[in-house]
Amino acid sequence: MFFSLFGWLLPLKPWAFVFEDDLGVGLFSVGHLFGTDSNGYDLLSSVVAGTRMSIFIAIAAVGLGGFIGSVLGIFSAYLRGKVDTVMVTVFNVGLSVPNLVLALALVSVLATNLDINQAVPTWRRVMVLVMSLTIVLIPILGRIARGATLSWTSREFVTAARSMGMKDSKIILRHIVPNVLPALIAVAFLAVGVVIIAEASLSILGVGIPDGASWGGMIARGRNDLEYAPHVLYVPIVFLALTVISTNHLGDVVRSKLDSREAKV
Amino acid sequence: MAGSGTAHLRNTVDAVLTVRDLTVEFRVAKDKIVKAVSGLSFDVIRGETLAIVGESGCGKTTLARAVLQLPPPNSGEVVFEGTDLTLLPKENLRSARTSMQMIFQDPISSLDPRMTVHQLIDEPLEIWGRGTRAERDERINNLLNNVGLEPDLVLNRRSYEFSGGQCQRISIARALALDPRMLICDEPVSALDVSIQAQILNLLQDMKDRFGLTMIFISHDLAVVKAVSNRVIVMYLGKICEVAPPETLYTKPAHHYTRALLNSVPIADPTRQTRTELLQGEPPSPMNPPSGCRFRTRCAAATALCAEQEPQLQEVAPGQFVACHHPLA
């Protein structure tokens, strides 16, 4: 767990493919800890490089989706009335479409050029991927923010703040946001795990990042070599699994830390 | 017998708060409306403690919040020190509210668990920019001393570290921070242990005397009300049954509902036989209240007249008003 969490921070090797004469070296060989794949890419450096892409996409999507989702959720729950009805409907429509299908549709529509012979630049694919995962996440996190806000807004200290003459904007910033945040952060950590998997799934389906720059891409490429070089597939899968497990665990830890005050009540 | 009418209004210049024909409705479904408070009037004179009693769900809390315009009532007027709050624009209302503060039923939920006591009491002062940092700290210390808490011990702690009674003391300190003229206490002691209840009631009484407050005291506990109030309003399903000073109300209730309430107070004497004449059934739904007198469905003395005509408040003894066609002698 620690390795998958912090290991990628340490050896920030240059984004270089190590070309070797011998193709498909096995696990734990000299010079290549995880061996190489059939093209001679060193798996260790690929995995390390893939980490950056996977985690960047996950954090960017969760950050953006979480921010937009919670702003929408908090406002709709605080204002109630028509705004709330519309927002809940939008969230429900978003949730009713299976996540992966929605992301798949968005990516394949947005990340293609009109001229199919022209390659789509990688940065654009990354952006589109982040965007579509963000759109998938907004209703999920928005609903949680809305639910938490509803329960906190009905607390009497909010009424008390109003009777003191506090402005609504300040009530939201001072009383609602700090109380809603712990729940959101906990779910956001879980969402990071989900998004890493979603991104990998998209890559395996062929609409993710091309040229194997992320873990999903590595799995997609390694799949072809499964028969004679299974480790090419296993290495990114193990990393993926460890990362997802550790983000979930981290989410739990963070939540229990933040909730400890509430728990004492 | 719960009825309307304004005969009990005293129309004096001393009235701090006069509420006329206040109605609060909630839309629960497309064409279902709950009338939580319907056409209620009352007034509070400076320095007086007005108690509002009634069983759960009769609209006591809604009434208190409607006075503060949280949310604003659907109709009626709330005249506080000569200004009708229902007509005030939002910004003026914000500052007008500061002279009325509220104490809530649940002491724990009325304090933000993420804030220290210092932040909690500083909050109202900060909103209105009262004084410099040092002056505000001084004021916070004074307030805490007033409510019987040791500032040095509590300032940096958060609400979950305190008991219910202590939380209620903090709430009181916070409510007093803005020098309000009126305090609305919504069941301030019902969530507390009996031994703590007396302490908090005494504290409220002290504060009232010291700062010359006018109080509205909402409760379902008649024993508590007896100890603190100058005038009692008995409510049933969003309407007034009876208005009287506590001495009269407790010895000579004129309304059948008031008598039933008094009979329901347990007596700490095991040798005494349980008294008869306890109320049967549940209060009717406020979505579909009975015609005429709202209490007639549970009243032993109800006649055909009660179903046809809504009783108006009338004076049966000096200071005692009752809305009933067949008042108790």
Site of tokens 């759960």:
B56
Query: Taking a C-beta distance cutoff of 8 angstroms, is the pair B86, B79 a contact?
Result: no
- The upper half-sphere exposure of residue A122, i.e. CA atoms within 13 Å in the direction of its Cβ, equals 10
Once rounded to an integer, what is the mean pLDDT over residues A134-143? 90
Once rounded to an integer, what is the mean pLDDT over residues A198-226? 74
Cβ pairs A/B, distance under 8 A: 69
- DSSP code string of B230-260: SEEEEEETTEEEEEE-HHHHHHS--SHHHHH
B160 → chain A, closest CA residue: A265
- Predicted pLDDT of residue A68: 93
Written as six digits, the tokens of A203 are 């890559």
Among A262, A246, A260, CA closest to A9: A246
Which three-class secondary structure state does DSSP give residue B17? strand
- Predicted pLDDT of residue B259: 87
**Domain assignment present for B143:** no
**How many distinct structural domains can be found in chain B?**
1
Among B174, B290, B176, B308, CA closest to B238: B290
Question: Residue B222 phi/psi, 5° resolution?
Answer: -65, -30
- Predicted pLDDT of residue A116: 57
Q: Which residues of chain B neighbour A81 with C-beta distances below 8 Å?
A: none
d(CA B282, CA B61): 19
Cβ count within 10 A of residue A61:
27
Please say if the pLDDT value at position A10 is more than 60: no
* Per-residue confidence band for A41, with pLDDT thresholds at 50, 70 and 90: low
**Domain assignment present for B153:** no
Per-residue pLDDT tens digits for B222-257: 888 888 888 999 998 888 889 999 888 888 888 888
Strand duo B15-29 + B231-236: pairing: unpaired
Cβ neighbors of B105 (< 8 A, separation 6 or more) are A156, B61, B186, B187, B188, B190, B191
- Predicted pLDDT of residue A4: 46
Q: Domain residues for B71?
A: 15-81+181-267+274-322
Written as six digits, the tokens of A117 are 């012979």
Question: Residue B42 phi/psi, 5° resolution?
Answer: -165, 165
Which three-class secondary structure state does DSSP give residue B51? strand
- Predicted pLDDT of residue A22: 44
Please say if the pLDDT value at position A222 is more than 90: no
- Predicted pLDDT of residue A146: 92
Query: What Rg do the C-alpha atoms of chain B give, in angstroms?
Result: 21
**Domain assignment present for B102:** no
| CA distance, residue B55 to nearest chain A CA (Å) | 21
Number of H helices and E strands in chain A, helices first, is 10, 0
- Predicted pLDDT of residue A13: 43
d(CA A189, CA A192): 5
- Predicted pLDDT of residue B288: 81
- Predicted pLDDT of residue A145: 92
Which three-class secondary structure state does DSSP give residue B97? helix
CB distance from B172 to chain A under 8 Å?
A: no
Give which of B26, B85, B112 to mutate to test A binding, by max A Cβ within 10 Å: B112
Written as six digits, the tokens of B101 are 């503060």
Per-residue pLDDT tens digits for B176-223: 988 888 999 988 888 888 888 888 899 999 889 888 899 999 988 888
**Domain assignment present for B106:** no
pTM of the model: 0.78
Helix (H) or strand (E) holding A185: helix A177-204
d(CA A172, CA A75): 9
Please say if the pLDDT value at position B30 is more than 80: no
Strand duo B182-186 + B49-53: pairing: unpaired
- Mean pLDDT (chain A) is 75
Among A63, A68, A23, A67, CA closest to A43: A23
Please say if the pLDDT value at position B156 is more than 60: yes
Question: Residue A124 phi/psi, 5° resolution?
Answer: -70, -40
| CA distance, residue A265 to nearest chain B CA (Å) | 5
- Mean pLDDT (chain B) is 85
A167 → chain B, closest CA residue: B94
Query: Taking a C-beta distance cutoff of 8 angstroms, is the pair B299, B307 a contact?
Result: no
- Percent over 90 (pLDDT), chain B: 9
Is pLDDT larger for residue A232 or for residue B298?
A: B298
Is pLDDT larger for residue B5 or for residue B62?
A: B62
Please say if the pLDDT value at position A189 is more than 80: yes
Query: Taking a C-beta distance cutoff of 8 angstroms, is the pair B175, B100 a contact?
Result: no
Q: With 0-12 CB in 10 A as exposed, 13-18 as middle and 19+ as buried, what is B308? A: exposed
Most confident of A121-135, A214-228, B2-16, B150-164: B150-164
Query: Taking a C-beta distance cutoff of 8 angstroms, is the pair B180, B213 a contact?
Result: yes
Q: Which residues of chain B neighbour A163 with C-beta distances below 8 Å?
A: 68, 70, 97, 100-102
B119 → chain A, closest CA residue: A174
- Predicted pLDDT of residue B50: 92
d(CA B213, CA B46): 8
Strands (E), B168-288: 182-186, 214-219, 231-236, 239-244
Please say if the pLDDT value at position A177 is more than 60: yes
* Per-residue confidence band for B1, with pLDDT thresholds at 50, 70 and 90: very low
Among A156, A171, A76, A175, CA closest to B65: A156
* CATH number of the domain encompassing residue B297: 3.40.50.300
Q: Look at domain A36-258 and name its CATH class.
A: mainly alpha
The residue extents of the domains of chain A are 36-258
| CA angle B112–B114–B119, rounded 5-degree value | 75
**Domain assignment present for B113:** no
